[in-house]
């Protein structure tokens, strides 16, 4: 007595959508980025591009990916790294060092807004601080 209704239709499994990789995500903070020089070389106009040829990460990554292994090892020696035979690890180290170098040249300027985020009059701020 089996009928055609006894057979079950296969159901689609519902799962979570695949997570986005961290590299694919972007973040915006809405601040106006002003940078202040932190060294004497920066005051004289050095933008940090002399060591790597650029301060744009994408350009640097493309340039080291296009290099032959011997050129990559020579570049690592100029930067101050001991050249290793593993290309992937060497590229990671060079990119990490590049990011550190660029961040030295892009120190954010301190603004007075941070000390007074609401833009209060100093007299009002003093009155409000009396209650502490």
DSSP per-residue codes, 43-108:
HTT--SHHHHS-S-HHHHHHHHHHS-HHHHHHHHHHHTPPP-S-HHHHHHHHHHHHHHHHHHHTPB
Residue 23 placed within a domain: no
pLDDT, tens digit (0-9, with 9 covering 90-100), for 76-96: 999 888 889 999 999 999 999
53, 61 contact by CB (below 8 A): no
Question: What confidence score (pLDDT) does residue 112 get?
Answer: 47
Question: What confidence score (pLDDT) does residue 44 get?
Answer: 73
Residue 110 placed within a domain: yes
Residue 14 placed within a domain: no
Considering only CA atoms, give the Rg of the chain: 27
96, 79 contact by CB (below 8 A): no
* Ranges under pLDDT 50 in the chain: 112
Nearest to 42 by CA among 101, 87, 105: 105
How many angstroms separate the CA atoms of 48 and 35, rounded? 13
Q: What are the residues facing 108 on neighbouring strands?
A: 35
Residue 78 placed within a domain: yes
Residue 18 placed within a domain: no
Q: What is the pTM for the complete model shown?
A: 0.52
Question: What confidence score (pLDDT) does residue 73 get?
Answer: 93
First to last CA, the chain: 84
The domain of 112 spans 33-127
Q: Would you call 111 helix, strand, or coil by DSSP? A: coil
Residue 5 placed within a domain: no
79, 51 contact by CB (below 8 A): yes
Question: What confidence score (pLDDT) does residue 8 get?
Answer: 66
Question: What confidence score (pLDDT) does residue 61 get?
Answer: 93
Residue 11 placed within a domain: no
Residue 56 placed within a domain: yes
Question: What confidence score (pLDDT) does residue 63 get?
Answer: 92
Number of domains in the chain: 1
């Amino acid at each position: 007595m089996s009928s055609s209704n006894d057979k079950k239709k296969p159901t689609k499994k519902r799962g979570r959508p695949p997570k986005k990789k961290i590299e694919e995500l972007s973040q915006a903070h809405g601040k106006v980025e002003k940078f202040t020089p932190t060294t004497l070389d920066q005051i004289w106009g050095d933008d940090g591009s002399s060591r790597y040829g650029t301060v744009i990460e994408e350009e640097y990554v493309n340039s080291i990916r296009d290099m032959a292994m011997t050129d990559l090892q020579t570049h690592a020696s100029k930067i101050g790294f001991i050249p290793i035979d593993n290309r992937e690890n060497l590229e990671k180290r060079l990119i990490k060092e590049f990011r550190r170098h660029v961040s030295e040249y892009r120190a954010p300027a301190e603004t007075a807004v941070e000390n007074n985020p609401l833009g209060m009059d100093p007299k009002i701020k003093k009155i409000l601080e009396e209650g502490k």
